[in-house]
Chain A
Amino acid sequence: MSDDAFADVPREPGAAKPEPILVADSVRRSFGGLTAVDVQHLEVQRNSITALIGPNGAGKTTFFNLLTGFDSPDSGEWAFNGTSMNGVSPYKAARKGMVRTFQLTKSLTRMSVMENMRLGATGQTGEKLWVAPFKFLWKTQEDAVTTRAEGLLARFKLDHMRDEFGGSLSGGQRKLLEMARALMVEPEMVMLDEPMAGVNPALKQSLLEHVKGLKDEGRTVLFVEHDMDMVHEIADWVVVMAEGQIIAEGPPSFIGANQAVIDAYLGAHQNTDLGV
């Protein structure tokens, strides 16, 4: 997949993509009197890295929660791979191939890194109550899951932490673990909520490579980020949200120069480095 896919896409909010994996229409969510999300139309291109940016309180995380079923909207429609996802519970959304991570990492602190990884695998027969007590029934599958987990841990350079508790990892390692664990689900689309927040600079570069690697594997990535350097480096397409609405779309170079985006950021916080 090359960046050409976006060659003919107009650089405007709600632009149609040649091969959308996710399409959202009129998604609204308000808390009390405050409208947190009001997205008219959004398409996410398959096998691309799309960044969702915007000032604090723009509704990015809420939008993420809505798409993945962790929150329900007041109104709106959205479809993943052509299937409507309205009212689909979070676990079903994950099984359909949309797997998300969280802004505040949710590494399972009193489970080992390996157990964290194994948990991610889907379709485990040993997760059925009637099968679970009989180890010989799930042993083979467990071994296969473990092998796959070991491969991923090695790729994310966490293999030396294999038997440590999730709680003993550093902030950056937790981000890595969460991403690796999400991959155990084998999702078509990975949704990362601020993958760089709280990660030390030394780890940042390897995280970036991992995100790029996801695309090379044929997956679609949608991520929320504040770090504009990262956006510039890896995103194929950038969607900008402010006050719940999508105010601009385009490739990273276009967004940096967009007046609406600058206004939105300057209105919110003056000193943000837009990386222009």
Chain B
Amino acid sequence: MSRIGLAAFAFIALFSGTAHADEETIQVRVQHTPEGGKKEQVEGVEITITDPSGSVVAEGVTDEKGVARLAVPSDGSFTVTIDPASLPEGLGVGEGQESRTVTVTAGLGGNANFNLGEATPKAASKLSLLPKTIFNGIRFGLVIAIMSVGLSLIYATTGLSNFAHGETVTIGAVMTGVASGWFALSGAKGGWGGFMQLSAAMIIGVGCATAFSGALELAVWRPMRRRGIGLTSMMIVSIGIAMSVRFIIQMYYGSQPRSYAQFGSQQNINFGPIGVTPRDLTTGIVALLALGAVGYLLIKTRTGKAIRAVSDNPDLASTTGINTERVILTVWLLGGALAGLGGVIFGLDEQVSWNMGTKILLLMFAAITLGGLGRPFGALVGSLAVGLFVQLWAWLFSSYTDLKTMGALLAMILVLLFRPQGILGKKERVG
């Protein structure tokens, strides 16, 4: 029915309501209170009233006062529904809030008040959110990639699945947070000053992560390799280290997640359908630059070639005069630095907490498994896949966003079922 037709119908209904004694009136009021502003009446909202059997008994449109008075044939209970499509742009009703049951008392009528909120993703066209979702997915993928390149390189060169890698991430983020706290005492919040403060703090945080990773190699992994201790033992040791370090952080940093002092919420800059905060844009660029640098290092430099040679075959590499131990130390340092950097970006995206690394570790493992265990560039591909998958899941199943991590893990298991070597992995050579 056209809008004019509806209005006419409502008009007739309004007046005819007084004509019959049996009829009762439901007064529907639609309003909206902007954040920190005054209550506003919403005009032109289409309303439908149905009786318990589901048949429509009245239709109408709100007037300039946001009110529609609709006649119903008797007292009893009715369902009042507003049409979300008729709402002004930018406004929406929560899921399941668009209809409610009204009890009409004989002689008194009934009331239904609708308080609108900001448009939810559901109210806006889902498809229009797709570009933003993909953008977020790639961004999240890049963050996972930065963290997991180290995990993957460590696996490729030493064969170790390092469960303490999540703690390296946490250390980077937490130490940056602690250092930014010292700097924030000097005042600047947000803007250029805040950016400089956080950058300085980040150098300290990333330095700590690098030192942690390198120290573990020198103090634990290298001696264990020399003693000929097997990989399974080393994996369990990495779990023990992860546990100790995680709870040391919890003891002294606390259980409460915190944000970096310099950056709270920011306004979006819009690029077509994609709105992005300057903070997210900057970290996205930093992530891309870091990954580009790693790619260049692996492909073009002597060190990178040595790393790839050791990944392919450590024994062969050492017979060709490559100092395997040095390459492995480089990988631990590089992996630590990248994990720390990833931690800072992840901390900016969400919050800095004592168990943030543990939470993301499984996604990192999923990423490198998806990409093909031991393939450094596989980690990048796998990470992008995981990042996209997590965001697309949240977009597709918007009422199941708490399960988005689950979706990514499920996807990994399914991929393994059909392509065990991962996306970029080579087929296993037996014997």
Contacts and interface: CB of A to CB of B under 8 A. Distances in A.
A200 B426 CA distance: 38
Contacts of A62: 431
A31 B428 CA distance: 10
A61 B429 contact: no
B426 A32 contact: yes
Contacts of B185: none
Contacts of A64: 431
A32 B426 CA distance: 9
A70 B430 contact: yes
B426 A71 contact: no
Interface string A210-242: 000000000000000000000000000000000
Interface in B303-359: none
Interface centre among B426, B429, B430, B431 (most CB of A within 10 A): B431
A112 interface: no
A224 to B, nearest CB: 12
A65 interface: yes
Contacts of A70: 430-431
A31 B429 contact: yes
Contacts of B430: 65, 70-71
Contacts of A61: 431
A70 B430 CA distance: 7
A62 B430 CA distance: 9
Interface size class of A (residues with CB under 8 A): under 10
Contacts of B431: 61-62, 64-65, 70-71, 102
Interface string A39-78: 0000000000000000000000110110000110000000
Nearest to B427: A31
Range for the number of chain B residues in contact with chain A: under 10
Nearest to A29: B429
Nearest to B429: A31
A191 to B, nearest CB: 12
Contacts of A31: 429
Nearest to A193: B431
Interface string B414-431: 000000000000100111
A32 B430 CA distance: 14
Interface in B180-223: none
A276 B426 CA distance: 42
Contacts of B426: 32
Contacts of A71: 429-431
A169 to B, nearest CB: 18
A225 B332 CA distance: 41
Interface string B159-192: 0000000000000000000000000000000000
B372 to A, nearest CB: 14
Nearest to B426: A32
A108 to B, nearest CB: 15
Contacts of B429: 31, 71
A102 B430 CA distance: 12
A125 to B, nearest CB: 31
B68 to A, nearest CB: 72
A152 to B, nearest CB: 26
Nearest to A32: B426
A64 to B, nearest CB: 8
Contacts of A102: 431
A10 B430 CA distance: 34
A119 to B, nearest CB: 20
Nearest to A65: B431
A31 B431 CA distance: 13
A32 B429 CA distance: 11
A31 B427 CA distance: 9
Interface in B395-431: 426, 429-431
A189 B430 CA distance: 22
A47 B429 CA distance: 32
Interface of A: 31-32, 61-62, 64-65, 70-71, 102
13 contacts: A31-B429, A32-B426, A61-B431, A62-B431, A64-B431, A65-B430, A65-B431, A70-B430, A70-B431, A71-B429, A71-B430, A71-B431, A102-B431
